[in-house]
Structure 1
């Protein structure tokens, strides 16, 4: 089925004019929500860029830093298995989104004035819990608007704005830290974008209390084929219905490709260990990877709305190329590998999430996002352990293993068959 720009504009106009539930055009909602994420990333990515040195200044050992940051990542993912179903059962998507953002915004400035190592460790984990609380609800709210804008493009634009914050935050913290020499001011300044994020989010909630109407308007605006009789839209799935089989096939593909995904920690370790970059240059390269991710997300999001799931072939191909270049002994290919890592991350954070909304009906979507996040988290942990262990043994063995894993992921992607009645248009099943 081809794209329908006229129908999409009609859906956008209808959603923008529906009173009460959606007093804003879908694209404006996506952009404003992206700005909320930009401000939030400004806050928590800024904090994460100095978490290790901050904990060390309070007396933490390298082992404790590893344990706390690892526990923080688990806290950002595993609780989504609870927060996702909770959002679906209660329908309090806005409440959970606002509550999660508030926890993050409060924890980061407090981290700068933590008087003990125990308090700092608690705040690091609390900030990550805030992400777990809000993410399934936030992705579900966003998915309703992307039914009118196009899933791929909507999630891609949101992710691009998000990545801008991920660049600005660490650079701002680095600048304040260089001027003041103190973690308190460097983290305290993040209260400003944090307060702005909460204020903007509350304003958005008052303007669009029910984003679900975007999806309803997009469905009603689609005209049936003139050669076929009109048929009623399928009834919404019951809130307790099982997740679709296609979702589990997609989760299997995601688990495979993320298991073969090199982490930036191992890449940066290689760059410094082999004296390819100085330690101070590593955060600058990280900012570059975030920009590469934003661009890659925009491109694959645009393609996804035209050719469908086959666009995601890009993710295993990028992931397979990362270790082949990133672990080279020369600066140019190693930096190129890191930038490809950023591009792959951009696809993961945007287009990979967009397809979940096409596979799962709205009443179960937050649950699906919670499960999906857990799959990504476990697979990423396995991938980090796998690439780290193989790097210590043999780089050629690491490259060969990652290529084999990504080849298996491509086979799994070919088994994903989105079902009938999915909201977005222009989808073509792979294979």
Structure 2
């Protein structure tokens, strides 16, 4: 199978998986409220779920590397997700629903490091940026379709969660079938990268031999040459101080950021929107997410990490709009939330690669994921608890946290980061 076809098929798998779990996440808040949850419970559960999706990668990543069973980890992770969602629609007890919400996120933690590794092999041929960009774009298509389908079923069934989440079992089954088929066709995707490395080496040898013109130099961010080894103690060097300050900035931003579970809880319990309308709002937020990711990614390549200053501003605006009694303002707040998510899921990770050298970068990403996960759990819980106490207090605390985040970003001095270092 050609590398591009592998990327597209994997993108289709991710599209279908996003169809499933983003469809479910669009109604997590109203579903838990229906079963008797308070805003604090919704915030804690959704925050812990997001934390699990990130923190557990500190274990699943090294284990996938150690066992080299990337397909097994990928398939098990997807299976946990696509099974948890339809069963969630049948949950009659709040604690069962909470456990299934977290289990779905654990599935993401199980599969993500292995999935990204499999995909990275093919992108060695297609081009890293282009390959991952196509995959992400297909992801977001599923993130828009899933909530819209859930909204349609809820509207047709009078707000019944069982059929709305049960229908997501069909794309879930398709995910597992496609995964098994792709594994049978390409059992060792590492062959893509091996072949690409060999071709690059041959081209360099041809260009450098006999006094001919040298082969093309690696582009920025290409990393070490295939087969190169780290310099002595390079993999034991401490992470730079700027990385830790940047991690603190990220933690502050996420600690003052509400989850969509709390936003949707507000929309339904305050009778601003029907349950069936909430997934439509979520789909719109996912569309804004994609646009914001592309826009800030484009800006990052031109002005550097200074563009991240927009993130605390967006995060501070969210509660001001989202927790009002005005439908247009609340929906606008959800769209701003989607824009902030787009920055978080794309551009935040780019800066880590510019702050940390290639031989410590995997470690840095693992630590960064743990920081984001812990802060997300805290942020979800904080937003939920403060919402139950006082919305004005929630807005004030969020503004203070985001102001602190801006100070940390300024201390990092992103304008001085050497993007080629």
| TM-score bucket (shorter structure) | 0.7 to 0.9
Aligned to 1:424: none
Residue of structure 2 aligned with 1:98, choices 63, 69, 75: 75
Following superposition of structure 1 onto structure 2, how do residues 28-39 of structure 1 map, counting pairs within 5 Å?
28-39=5-16
Q: 2:216 aligns with which of 201, 214, 223?
A: 223
Q: For residues 118 and 330 of structure 1, what CA distance do their matches in structure 2 show? A: 32
SS at match of 1:261: coil
Q: Which moved more, 1:356-365 or 1:90-99?
A: 356-365
1:321-340 correspondence runs (5 A): 321-326=317-322, 332-340=328-336
For residue 218 of structure 1, report the CA deviation from its aligned partner.
9.9
Q: CA separation of 1:244/1:268 partners in 2, compared to 1, >3 Å: closer, same or farther?
A: same
Does residue 410 of structure 1 match 2:405? no
Determine the C-alpha separation between the residues in 1 that align with 2:327 and 2:98.
36
SS across alignment from 2:3: coil
Mapped to 1, the partners of 2:236 and 2:132 lie a distance apart of 25
- Measured after TM superposition, the shift of residue 289 of structure 1 is 0.8
CA distance in 1, matches of 2:124, 2:296: 17
Residue in 2 that maps onto 1:24: 3
**Alignment correspondent of 1:291:** 287
**8 Å CA contact 1:83, 1:370 repeated in 2:** no
- Contact 1:152/1:304, CA 8 A, preserved across alignment: no
Q: Distance in 2 between matches of 1:260 and 1:344?
A: 12
- Does 1:191 find its partner at 2:184? no
Cross-structure match for 1:45: 22
**Deviation string, structure 1 residues 304-352 (Cα, Å, up to 9, x no partner):** 4455444434433433443455456755554333312211101211232
Segment of structure 1 superposing worse, 88-97 or 240-249: 240-249
CA 1:64/1:371 → structure 2, altered by over 3 Å: closer, same or farther?
same
Return the offset for 1:268: 4.6
- Aligned residue pairs: how many? 393
Q: Do the aligned residues in 2 keep the contact of 1:262 with 1:383 (CA within 8 Å)?
A: yes
Partner of 1:378: 374
Partners of 1:213 and 1:105 lie apart in 2 by 33
RMSD: 4.2
TM-score by length of structure 2 reads 0.74
Aligned to 1:167: 144
- C-alpha separation in 1, matches of 2:68 and 2:133: 25
> CA–CA distance in 2 between the matches of 1:291 and 1:384?
22
The match for 1:235 among 215, 220, 229 is: 229
Deviations 1:87-142 (A, max 9, x none): 23333333312221122122323444567766555444332221111122233444
CA contact (8 A) 1:43 1:108 kept: yes
The residue number in structure 2 matching 1:133 is 110
Structure 2 alignment gaps of length 5 or more: 204-214, 219-223
Q: 1:316 to 1:213 in 2, by over 3 A?
A: farther
Shift of 1:24: 1.0
Taking structure 1 as the reference length, the TM-score comes to: 0.72
